[in-house]
């Protein structure tokens, strides 16, 4: 896997929030990360541009859109690339904020995911590669190609290597995640059962557990979701599984926002391990034996290699079963 033969025709950038991840990807591809010149003015405005020419080159930009500043920084940088005559601009965003605003749940609400799509397209993005959109149908908001990749594949490889002897039941924290849980179970082995936590939303980030579909007694469980925000709801689910007789309980989610910190998991006796990706840069600052970060590094490297060579993204989804 290398882009060395094409380094004169392609450029890799990493926005400040994913510069470390971009460097790891560049090392895998045996290319360099091109510097971004960034200036912050006294009034808080920013100016971002490439330190080198991008004329007639295919550009890959690795970033994480987890904050308002990161969105504005990307839009400004994409505009600068387009005005500098970049041939093709591919954004690799490890996290897409506003993905949970994918519909009008009540009157007068915006559809934030649709707005983000329009902003990226207008700025000049030619293709988007991202991970575990909250709702896959968000891809339909875009008139450009979108590859919505799955972190469950690196997660499965970790389970293959480190937890081969463990027998798991995959648990969806709600009915909406049942398909996601089933896909993970089938990746590991077709014999794995799934269970579904029946919960009722009573407000933003507030839920009440009302039941469980499936058997978890004397089973090791993986509660699998796409996003951990405050963590309150998923901790309630873990506590409920313990009450129902579960043994070890792992929590796995692609995007670990941890908006109220990691202490809630650190202090939860029902949780043995939390697995997340590095889609949110700040997770690497959390120091805890209960946290396992499974990087997107290799998957992004392969995605760039496959995209450059105009091959099928299905190559990224090849994995072995746990026997």
Domain assignments of the chain as residue spans, ordered by start? 4-149+298-317, 152-295
Spell out the alpha helix ranges (H) of the chain. Answer: 19-29, 68-83, 112-123, 152-162, 178-188, 232-243, 263-266, 297-308
Tell me if 4-149+298-317 shares its fold with 152-295.
Answer: yes
Cβ contact 168:221 at 8 Å: yes
Task: Write the DSSP assignment of 112-163 as a string of letters.
Answer: HHHHHHHHHHHHT--EEEEE--SSGGGGGG-SS-EEEE-THHHHHHHHHHHS
Catalytically active residues, by annotation: 199
Q: Read off the pTM.
A: 0.92
pLDDT for 249: 96
What are the residues whose beta carbons fall under 8 Å from the beta carbon of 174, sequence distance 6 or more? 196, 197, 198, 199, 207
Distances (CA, A) of 279 to 21, 130, 178, 284: 9, 10, 22, 10
Count the neighbouring beta carbons within 10 Å of the beta carbon of residue 142: 18
Average pLDDT, the chain: 92
Q: pLDDT exceeding 70 applies to what percent of the chain?
A: 93
**178 φ, ψ to 5°?**
-65, -40
Span 309-314, average pLDDT: 88
Paired strand residues for 122: none
Q: Are strands 58-65 and 10-14 parallel, antiparallel or unpaired?
A: parallel
The dotted CATH code for 4-149+298-317 is 3.40.50.2020
- Quick: pLDDT tens for 141-197: 999 999 999 999 999 999 878 766 668 899 999 988 999 999 999 998 878 899 999
Count the neighbouring beta carbons within 10 Å of the beta carbon of residue 55: 9
> Does 152-295 carry CATH code 3.10.20.90?
no
Q: Among candidates 323, 176, 181, 189, which has minimal Cα distance to 252?
A: 181
- Quick: pLDDT tens for 182-201: 999 999 887 889 999 998 77
3-state secondary structure of 305: helix
**Separate counts of helices (H) and strands (E) for the chain:** 8, 14
Paired strand residues for 59: 11, 89
- Helix or strand (DSSP H, E) at 187: helix 178-188
- Quick: pLDDT tens for 222-275: 999 999 999 999 999 999 999 999 999 999 999 999 999 999 999 999 999 999
């Amino acid at each position: 896997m290398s882009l060395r033969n094409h380094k004169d025709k392609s450029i890799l950038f990493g926005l400040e929030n994913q510069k470390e991840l971009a460097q790891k990807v560049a090392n895998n591809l045996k290319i360099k990360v091109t510097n971004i010149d960034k200036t912050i003015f006294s009034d808080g405005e920013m100016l971002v541009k490439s330190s080198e020419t991008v004329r007639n080159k295919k550009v890959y930009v690795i970033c994480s859109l987890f904050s308002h500043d990161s969105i504005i920084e990307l839009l400004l940088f994409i505009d600068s690339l387009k005005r500098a005559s970049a041939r093709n601009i591919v954004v690799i965003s490890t996290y897409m904020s506003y993905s949970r605003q994918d519909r009008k749940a009540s009157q007068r609400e915006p559809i934030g995911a649709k707005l983000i799509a329009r902003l990226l397209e207008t700025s000049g993005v030619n293709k988007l590669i991202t991970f575990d959109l909250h709702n896959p149908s968000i891809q339909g908001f875009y008139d450009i190609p979108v590859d919505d990749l799955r972190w469950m594949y690196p997660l499965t490889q970790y389970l293959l290597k480190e937890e081969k002897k463990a027998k798991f039941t995959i648990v969806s924290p709600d009915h909406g995640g049942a398909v996601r849980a089933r896909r993970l179970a089938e990746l590991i082995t077709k014999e794995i059962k799934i269970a579904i936590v029946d919960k009722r939303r009573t407000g933003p980030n507030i839920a009440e557990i009302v039941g469980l579909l499936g058997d978890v007694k004397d089973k090791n469980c993986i509660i699998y979701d796409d996003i951990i925000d405050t963590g309150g709801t998923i901790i309630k689910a873990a506590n409920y599984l313990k009450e129902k007789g579960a043994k070890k309980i792992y929590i796995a989610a692609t995007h670990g926002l941890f908006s109220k910190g990691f202490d809630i998991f650190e202090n939860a006796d029902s949780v043995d391990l939390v697995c997340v990706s590095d889609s949110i840069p700040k997770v690497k600052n959390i120091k805890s034996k209960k946290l396992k970060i499974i990087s997107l590094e290799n998957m992004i490297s392969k995605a760039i290699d496959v995209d450059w060579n105009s091959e099928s993204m299905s190559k990224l989804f090849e994995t072995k079963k746990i026997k």
